[in-house]
Amino acid sequence: MNPNNPTRPAHQQGAALLVSLVILLVLTVLALSSMQGTTLQERMVSSQRDAQIALEGAEFALQAAEAELAGPTLPTFVNEQGLYQEDEDLPLALQTLAGILDPASWQASAGGGHGNGTRAAPMPREEVNGEQVDLLAERPRYFIKATPGVGAASSSGFGLGIGGAGDSVQQSGLSGTVYRVVAFSSGASGQAVRAIEAYVVRAE
């Protein structure tokens, strides 16, 4: 072949391969970034769902406490079992907001029932494939404390206060005792902490 033949293909320098590799690298980086964003969104949704489950667990415990206070007779108020008279002090771990939001403050006793200064609510369950499945990592818990009949009733840890709930009850023409209820749940994962506080009036 004549080396001076103008129809001979030009010698390749690898530019097409280099451009292809750069494009492939860019596409790979975009794909990895998209995967990371999706993973982060999934974690955020999972965290929000667990927090909502924890809140519903705390509300479930609050309903158990309200049912206990609404019964025909009150249970015996023994502070080791989460029922406190007006003049009894809460455990130190439950006297501050930080302590109330600390799962260790609500750690169940070996049997998982009433004890350690708190009470255990029933475990909420649902039926899956014919079997009852626990909805929470552990049973939600609560405590009940009788508040002063008159004057401001201190909320102790939350700092919310109710500004003289006893006075309000008396002004309404009712006679009864105001009870402070704090309920806690750690959600389905055991990591989502939620606590709620309510005041319940038991009429006399």
User: Computed over its alpha carbons, how large is the radius of gyration of the chain?
Assistant: 31
Whether residue 177 is contained in a domain is answered as yes
CA-nearest of 141, 183, 184, 187 to 46 is 187
Distance in angstroms (rounded) separating the CA atoms of residues 160 and 112: 30
Mean pLDDT rounded to a whole number for the chain: 79
Extract the tokens encoding 134.
């626990």
Highest mean pLDDT among 52-61, 109-118, 124-133, 159-168: 52-61
pTM for this prediction: 0.69
Rounded average pLDDT over 44-73: 90
Res 101 pLDDT > 80: yes
Whether residue 25 is contained in a domain is answered as no
User: What's CA 59's distance to the chain center, in Å?
Assistant: 10
User: Is there a contact between 97 and 146 (Cβ–Cβ < 8 Å)?
Assistant: no
State the Cα angle at 85 between 82 and 89, rounded to 5°.
75
The count of structural domains within the chain is 1
Whether residue 5 is contained in a domain is answered as no
Domain that holds residue 186: 53-203
User: Is there a contact between 139 and 186 (Cβ–Cβ < 8 Å)?
Assistant: no
Of the listed ranges 35-44, 93-102, 117-126, 139-148, the one predicted with least confidence: 35-44
Res 29 pLDDT > 70: yes
β-partners of residue 201 are 178
Res 183 pLDDT > 90: yes
82, amino acid identity: G
Distance in angstroms (rounded) separating the CA atoms of residues 155 and 161: 5
| pLDDT 10s digits, 65-91 | 999 998 888 888 877 788 998 888 888
Extract the tokens encoding 17.
């391969």
Comparing 89 with 112, the larger pLDDT belongs to 89
Whether residue 124 is contained in a domain is answered as yes
Beta strand 141-146 with 119-120 is antiparallel
Whether residue 6 is contained in a domain is answered as no
Whether residue 164 is contained in a domain is answered as yes
Rounded average pLDDT over 136-159: 68
Whether residue 46 is contained in a domain is answered as no
- H-only helix segments in the chain: 15-70, 97-100, 165-171
93, amino acid identity: A
Q: How confident is the model at residue 191 (pLDDT cuts 50, 70, 90)?
A: confident
Whether residue 176 is contained in a domain is answered as yes
